[in-house]
C-alpha cells in the first residue's frame, strides 16, 4: 500500500472525507437533531375530558394547577398557575402566575395536576 503525503499510513479513499462544506455540516446537524425528536403522545378521549374538566375547575374555583406541555426536543415543560380565560376559537387558555399571564395552546397540553 502506497503512503499518502497528507496522512502517513492512511487510505487515499478516505482523505476526501476530511473536507466538509458548511452545507453538509448544517445538514448533518439537522439530521442529528431530528433523530432526537420525540413524538407527541395521543391522548384518549377520556384523558382529554379529564384535562378539560381540571382546567375548567381551576378557572371556576380560582385554584392553582400545573399544566404539562409537550416539547418535541428535551424535557416537557411544566407551568403552574390559575386558568383565568378560555379562548375556544383560538383553542388556548390564559394562565396566570404571580401577576404574569401566558397563553397556552390546547394541543401542547399533555397533562394537568
The reported pLDDT for the residue numbered 88 is 87
Q: Are 99 and 84 in contact (CB under 8 A)?
A: no
Cell of 40: 407527541
More confident residue, 38 or 45: 45
The reported pLDDT for the residue numbered 79 is 93
Pick the CATH number of 45-112 from 2.30.30.180, 3.90.190.10, 2.30.30.110, 2.30.30.100: 2.30.30.100
Q: Are 3 and 11 in contact (CB under 8 A)?
A: no
**pLDDT tens per residue, range 72-88:** 888 889 999 999 998 88
Domain ranges for the chain, please list them: 1-36, 45-112
Distances, alpha carbon 90 to alpha carbons 9, 62, 105, 107, in Å: 64, 22, 8, 11
Long-range contacts of range 86-91, CB-CB < 8 Å, 24 or more positions apart?
86/55, 86/56, 86/59
Instruction: Give the pLDDT band of residue 60 (cuts 50, 70, 90).
Output: very high
Amino acid at each position: 500500500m502506497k503512503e499518502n503525503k497528507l496522512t502517513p499510513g492512511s487510505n487515499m479513499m478516505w482523505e476526501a472525507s476530511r473536507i466538509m462544506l458548511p452545507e453538509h455540516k448544517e445538514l448533518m446537524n439537522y439530521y442529528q437533531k431530528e433523530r432526537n425528536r420525540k413524538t407527541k403522545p395521543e391522548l384518549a378521549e377520556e384523558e382529554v375530558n379529564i384535562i378539560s374538566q381540571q382546567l375548567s375547575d381551576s378557572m371556576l374555583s380560582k385554584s392553582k394547577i400545573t399544566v404539562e406541555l409537550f416539547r418535541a426536543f428535551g424535557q416537557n415543560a411544566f407551568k403552574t398557575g390559575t386558568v383565568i380565560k378560555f379562548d375556544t376559537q383560538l383553542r388556548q387558555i390564559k394562565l396566570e402566575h404571580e401577576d404574569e399571564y401566558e397563553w397556552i395552546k390546547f394541543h401542547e397540553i399533555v397533562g394537568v395536576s
